[in-house]
Structure 1
């Protein structure tokens, strides 16, 4: 069973119809939210693949909810393959989604044949990333991206940043670090400001890029 979770009815119903019409042998069901999927107690047993919508323009609360959903899937339903669905192929969004444990990223501009190919790929253990996103990432890196360490994080901010890299929601970070959730929100805002990041996914992207750059330096 392929499950599509998207709050936009036209988007989820259109994708569901396209997959069914392709006659590729996939049963499809749709939900407006991750919470709706959880309420249906039998849904996890029916589901082998989830396509879940994430949004680059989400506000902090919505974004925390999306990260929490991906974290829940990874922790409590590890056998279910997860594909993130976004509006475009922004490398920041793609890398952020992969950092949260999804097996692939789909943009709404992809053809149904590519979507079906991505589904088959993740079912066989692969990871799907749109070619357009890889090209944009290559172009960006070729211009020597700014090193986030030019503005240092405090020790506590670094701890919060490490949790962000694993896709933790603010509430989970607060619990693990034994601090108030409001304090976590302040740290996240300051981290975003220091890294000149627009959202949490871009924070994850920039931190991952910095870590990769430092690993390369350590080799020489």
Structure 2
């Protein structure tokens, strides 16, 4: 699938990234992450070991978008893996759901069989042209899990590209205004049933 990045640049194309390839491109991928999330320079050095460890988790897969030029620069990246009880994100969301008043049966149903869409980032110079949607479709095709879950920072009136993307794809609320340990910003946890049918109407 091809999408237009800008009038001045060639059209990026999607590629499946092996663990080896992501490790090789880790500086590029983390630079996109830091820029897209608005984090301070240097954040990438703290995140690199985590991203490197994630590739070892069961069910891990990744997709990137590159420009068809001699050096094939990466302009977008997405990855995820099968969620499990021992993982930090799983434990954080479980605690958040319980604190929100959810009973154990509901919590177990949410977290029993899911794919965690861990990272989805598009370089600001390539945003607004469908790459996020294309990456999501590619990453979630043929996943065996029952649901996909992700977290995204809360913004007023859900008014940014990430929220518009997730709502247009039909992601619904699982947990709102949740603060992860080590981050002061409130986050939302969103979910969607699998298999991921792109033609179904959005939730809202």
Give the structure-1-normalised TM-score: 0.29
Structure with higher strand content? 2
- The structure with the larger Rg is 1
Give the structure with the larger helix fraction.
Answer: 1
